[in-house]
Chain A
Amino acid sequence: MARGAARKYDAGAAAFFLENLCQDVDLILRFGFALALDEGKAQKLVKKTYASIVSEIPELLDLESTKIRLRLLRRAWELFHEEPEEGVSHTHVSDLLRDLDLATRSSLFLVDVFGLTFEEAREITKMDDAELRHYLAKGRKKLLRFRFD
């Protein structure tokens, strides 16, 4: 992004952005990969996610880091669904995820990789409890059959 397009904030808000929001860039990248199955597309999603959220920094300042993380994950989820585009890559993770549907991949990552509670995962995906458990069970079965070696 060109410098001219950078959001101007006071030193405190700018520091908050760097020290709090930006701590989750890798988490958002991994979630983006679970969604898009492609690292390049995941990187673009990270950029879009952060670009879309910088205007909300003033209201994020008082939130707990967990809430901020959920906001970022939810935003990434929304942005991906605006332009759902999947790619192809060849890693252990992509080999595991390739045959799984989007809801299963998302559930598995949100709960088993990021360690979110069911409630938090539902807040992001807007699934009900049964739905989330259905997809999570499906993902875990595949995970248990998968050989990482």
Chain B
Amino acid sequence: MAAKTIKLTDEERIYSQLSEYLEDELSPADRAAFDEFVKGKKLDSLTTDYGIARGKLQIEAQRLFLDEARLHSIHQLVEDDAARANHEAQDIDAFSKTEVRNQAVRFTLLLLVLGAAVVFGIKFFSAEKKAPFKALDSLIYEAIVMSEDAEERLDFPTDSMADLNNYFKRYPDLGFTPKVLQGPGQGWELNGATVIDYEVAKILAVKMKATSSDEHLYLFLFEGALSSLPPSTPGNHQGLMYQAYASDKLNVIAWQASPEMTGMMIGYRGAKDLAEIAFRMVGL
């Protein structure tokens, strides 16, 4: 702005001298020139009007003022030693309160995490163990393979139920306690047993043969819940609640043999016959 060179008009000079005229700060020559201009332009009330308008502008401007909060924030730009000491004390106090609050929050969070871990643990360990493999498909396959090549598949050929139970009882790391099995009943004889190791689960497998024919039956017991199998036609044999399935050749019943163990009987007989044999061998 300072670079501009402005030549004032007479009118601009007079208007710019209004305040000086009112405060009587003009030189006698300038005052005379002012009066002459006003008289010539018939602006007799110019100075009075200006004085009034200026007063109104000043009043309007005074409506603008800084509120207490903003004024306080300006005051806070500077502090003396005493104020600083007070503030530091307040800061320390606030920090202490914050720290106590944070400790409480941390402690609460820790309790929540521990609680969640306990709940998770209870749920995890108390949950019904589900068969970690596709039991139905896998064991039908095993039954078919065993019927075709029994010698290769049976690790423990025996016709003694006592030996069979002893074999299962001594088998290491089964992951569950096998039930003591009874004989399959009249018309059937025990062929032997094996433990199928699927890495994720071990399955007790027992093979029976009909005494009067080449018909075979297969009993499987493994850790897990019946509910892990697909729902199917339910059946009940003297309290043994089972689900019946059928493949192209074989029939299958499955039941909850114990709280931790699922039983599966596979053969060519109907579901009721299979359930009867299962009831006889495994019981409730």
Contact = CB atoms under 8 A, between A and B. Distances in A.
A51 B77 contact: yes
A130 B6 contact: yes
A125 B82 CA distance: 39
A91 B60 CA distance: 9
Interface string A90-113: 011100100000010000110111
B82 to A, nearest CB: 7
Interface stretch (B67-75, B179-187, B210-218, B250-258): B67-75
A76 interface: no
Contacts of A112: 19, 54, 57-58
Given A8-B84, A43-B70, A113 B64 contact: no
A133 B64 contact: no
A29 B115 CA distance: 58
A131 B2 contact: yes
Contacts of A35: none
Contacts of A103: 1
B169 interface: no
A130 B4 CA distance: 9
A22 B74 contact: yes
B280 interface: no
Nearest to A3: B87
B196 interface: no
B79 A3 contact: yes
B50 to A, nearest CB: 6
Contacts of A108: 57
A9 B5 contact: no
Given A8-B81, A11-B81, A29-B64, A140 B16 contact: yes
B246 interface: no
B122 interface: no
A18 B70 contact: no
Given A1-B77, A14-B78, A140-B18, A30 B61 contact: yes
Given A113-B57, A144-B50, A1 B76 contact: yes
A103 B57 CA distance: 17
Q: Most chain-B Cβ atoms within 10 A of its Cβ — which of A51, A109, A127, A140?
A: A140
B77 A127 contact: no
A61 interface: no
Interface string B3-34: 01111100111111111000000000000000
B57 A143 contact: yes
Given A25-B71, A134-B12, A136-B16, A93 B57 contact: yes
A7 B16 contact: no
A contact patch SS: helix
Contact of B80 (A3, A9, A33, A92): A9
B49 to A, nearest CB: 6
B134 interface: no
B91 interface: yes
Nearest to B83: A14
B64 A33 contact: yes
Contacts of A29: 64-66
Given A29-B64, A47-B73, A140-B15, A126 B81 contact: no
Nearest to A15: B80
B114 interface: no
Nearest to B59: A148
B78 A26 contact: no
A92 to B, nearest CB: 5
Nearest to A96: B57
B188 to A, nearest CB: 89
Contacts of A130: 5-8
A14 B80 contact: yes
A146 to B, nearest CB: 7
27 contacts: A6-B84, A7-B78, A7-B79, A8-B80, A11-B82, A17-B77, A22-B74, A25-B71, A26-B66, A33-B61, A33-B64, A42-B64, A46-B70, A50-B77, A109-B61, A111-B19, A112-B58, A127-B2, A128-B6, A130-B7, A132-B16, A133-B13, A137-B11, A140-B15, A140-B50, A144-B46, A148-B57
